[in-house]
Structure formats: C-alpha cells, structure tokens
Amino acid sequence: MAEEHSRQAPGAQAEERIRKILHCADQWSSDVPEALRPSIKAVCVRLAEMVADQRNYLAPLPADQESERAEMLQSIAERLRSSAVTAGIEAHLADLAELELRSTGSWSLVSGAQNQWIETAIRYLEVAGEKLPADERPEPYWADDVVAGIIAFTRDAIGVDELQARTEARYSGGIPRPQLPPEE
C-alpha cells in the first residue's frame, strides 16, 4: 500500500523519462563535433517517440497498471513532439521524416521496420559526419555505436525491456507459438 502512494503520476513519470532521454542525447553527442549534436539529438528524440508509441504492442498489465502505463507512454510520445523538445532540431526531424522514419504502425509489430529504422538512422548520422572536414570526422562505425547506445538507453528509460519486447513480438498478435514435438 505504501508503494502505491510513493509512485509518481504518469505525467511526472513521463517528464522524468524525457529528461533521461534528453540526457542520453547529450551523453552520446558529447564526444563528437558540435555540428553533429543536433543530428544525434534528433535521432534520439525520434527513436524515443517510436519506442513510446509501442504502447499498443506491450503485453497487457492489470487494468489499473495498463491504464497508467498507456497514459505515461502517450504523454512521452506527445511531449517528444512538443516545441520544448524539438527546438533547434526541427530541420533534422524533417529530414528523418523524409527518410520514411514515421512508420510507427509497423514499428511496433514488424521487426523489419525496426531494422530499417536502425539502418536509416545510422546512415543519417554517417552522412552528417561526412559533411564535416576530414580532420573533424568521427572514426568509422561511430554512428553504429551511437544508434545502438541510444536504442538501449531509450528502451531502458521508457521501460521497454529488450527480452520482454522480443518475447512479446514472438508470442503476441498473429504469430503462433511454436509447438514442441510430443515427448515419447
């Protein structure tokens, strides 16, 4: 009972998680030239929005917890679209949208869409890096590391466990559970 009173409201949880997501963007962009920081923040914000939009994909919880989680994830997705978060990165978000990253409907159900987004985000950051003078460019595969780190951190910050996500992708929806052969 004491735990129920100590839990934050969904809006407060969303604000805390958005702070973590923006901190993640700052962390991942701390070791790159200043010119790449808005690109990294845009990728981080867009990925977090997509992960939050997975709320319809997660396994259901008991009614009161499900309602709270759905409200919190919806709040995160909406706040990540707000001008308070997107200020200064609007052009980068528009560029990402042009690369067909707004596939949240299939993002939550089709692993191929997730892989496509990851490849597109990596390429987006690589192209941004290639625009820098040769002596300022990050080392090879830096974009792979940044996107992988952002994915792991964002899923953790939002509360989507990777094992849970893989399990739910495998056993929910129209994907049948594999049948084991009968024991003899």
Per-position pLDDT tens, the chain of length 184: 344 434 778 888 889 989 998 998 898 888 889 999 999 999 999 888 877 776 555 666 677 777 888 888 888 888 989 999 999 999 999 888 877 544 444 555 555 666 777 888 899 999 999 999 999 999 888 999 998 888 888 877 777 665 555 555 555 554 444 555 565 5
- The three-class DSSP label of residue 5 is helix
In a domain, 64, yes or no: yes
Instruction: Please say whether the beta carbons of 65 and 49 come within 8 A.
Output: no
Domain count across the chain: 1
Domain hosting residue 16, numbered range: 8-169
In a domain, 114, yes or no: yes
Rg of the chain, C-alpha, whole Å: 18
Give the per-residue pLDDT at 77: 86
Q: For residue 111, what are the contacts with CB-CB under 8 A and spacing of at least 6?
A: 169
In a domain, 177, yes or no: no
Cα 138 to Cα 49: distance, rounded to the nearest angstrom: 26
In a domain, 175, yes or no: no
Give the per-residue pLDDT at 104: 44
In a domain, 138, yes or no: yes
In a domain, 180, yes or no: no
In a domain, 182, yes or no: no
Give the per-residue pLDDT at 127: 92
Q: What one-letter code names the amino acid at 168?
A: E
CA atoms within 13 A on the CB side of 176: 3
